[in-house]
Structure 1
Amino acid sequence: VPCASRTHARVEFRRDKFVLSDTSTNGTFVQADGEKEVALKREEFILHGNGRICLGHRLSEGGADLVWSVKTYQ
């Protein structure tokens, strides 16, 4: 059963980057397109390209997930 809390994670824009910070007990799982899934436990992840975020459960377990898309402009 997926376990997400009201204050599970946050996304901040810092130094021209979007940073995902896990603030939960159950962890946050992220996967950028073409990369392996990463489990975050009170850690941060720089969102780049496209990918998916799951709160409290692995992507392979199904359930709701969030999708991101970061475009860089020069």
Structure 2
Amino acid sequence: MTRVQPPCANHQPNWRTSSYTGSGDNNCVEVADNLPQIMIRDTKYHDTGPILTIPPASWQQFTSAVVDARLGE
């Protein structure tokens, strides 16, 4: 995986941290959903780690599956 730059210099990602951050298990992510693509990164490596970029429809399917507890079926 390679580190990507925001698609447009005028539009910087608005990163938000998972609501579960601070639980002490070191498994937190940050999401930026204010750009044409959804960007996801590991909170521990936010400056140097890879950024996963996916289409909004895929993010919607994933988050719906999490909420509906359909993962692993």
Is the helix fraction higher in 1 or 2?
2
Greater CA radius of gyration, 1 or 2?
2
Higher relative contact order, structure no. (Cα contacts within 8 Å, ≥ 6 residues apart): 1
Regarding TM over 0.5, the answer is no
- Structure with a larger share of its residues in strand: 1
TM-score by length of 2: 0.31
TM-score of the superposed pair, with normalisation by structure 1: 0.31
